[in-house]
Amino acid sequence: MWPGVDIYRVSIQNQNIPYFNINGAELKTIPFFKYLRSIVSSTTKIDNDVINKITKVSRSFGILRSKFSSNKHLKLATKFQVYEAVCLSTLLYGPETWTSYRRHLVQLEHFHISCLQKILGLTWKDRVPHTQILECTKSQCIEAMIAKQQLRWLGHVIRIPEERMPRKILYGQLQNSHQRPCGPKKRFT
């Protein structure tokens, strides 16, 4: 690959951990790091990233909420637009590559609904259904927003030239896979 660079893998506790040596000096392997406001984990799970995003947006929303409650001249539509621009854009930054499970969607949806309830001045005692809150605020559920961004990214990848890496990965085949009779074709790597 590169002169003086050796890469080898060692299996520790059922995990393949890569080790890099550059001119005899070993580089450390870390369990996670921050990259472009997201947490990249060695386990490829997004649990820490979701919690980190909710924490950051919660702080931002707290500051916005204090401004909202002190200003009685703001319309609800303006409050929702500011919430979408500041909070939702941060919360849903980069979900195109997420492998999100139901627990992640539930966490994000719960936070989203609780923010909308606070903007509307509702509490759990009011017993307003989530569908009515979303309808009143003209908002979508988090799952629909994430699916929309993922489909937009998928359309982008499909339109790029075939020799580019994202397109190759999207249409790549598994190396050691076999298709069950009458099963779906496996088109992912």
Specify whether the backbone of 11 is left (phi greater than 0), alpha (psi in -120 to 50) or beta: beta
What is the spatial distance between Cα 134 and Cα 118, in angstroms, rounded to a whole number? Answer: 13
Decide: residue 94, CB within 10 A, 0-12 exposed, 13-18 middle, 19+ buried: middle
Res. 186 pLDDT band, cuts 50 70 90: low
Least confident of 81-85, 146-150, 167-171, 174-178: 174-178
Q: What is the pLDDT of residue 1?
A: 47
For 120-142, what is the mean pLDDT? 91
What does each C-alpha distance from 98 to 44, 93, 127 come to in angstroms? 9, 10, 32
- pTM above 0.75? no
Share of the chain above pLDDT 70, in %: 80
Residue type, 159: R
Residue 4 has pLDDT above 60, yes or no: no
Determine the longest span between alpha carbons in the chain, in angstroms.
67
Task: Give residue-wise pLDDT tens across range 150-167.
Answer: 999 999 999 999 889 888
Res. 26 pLDDT band, cuts 50 70 90: confident
Share of the chain above pLDDT 90, in %: 40
Q: Are 21 and 6 in contact (CB under 8 A)?
A: yes
Q: Are 11 and 22 in contact (CB under 8 A)?
A: no
For 87-106, what is the mean pLDDT? 89
Q: What is the pLDDT of residue 23?
A: 79
Least confident of 29-38, 117-126, 150-159: 29-38
Domain spans in the chain, listed from the N-terminal domain onward: 1-30, 37-153
Residue 8 has pLDDT above 80, yes or no: no
Q: Are 92 and 146 in contact (CB under 8 A)?
A: yes
Higher pLDDT, 160 or 15: 160
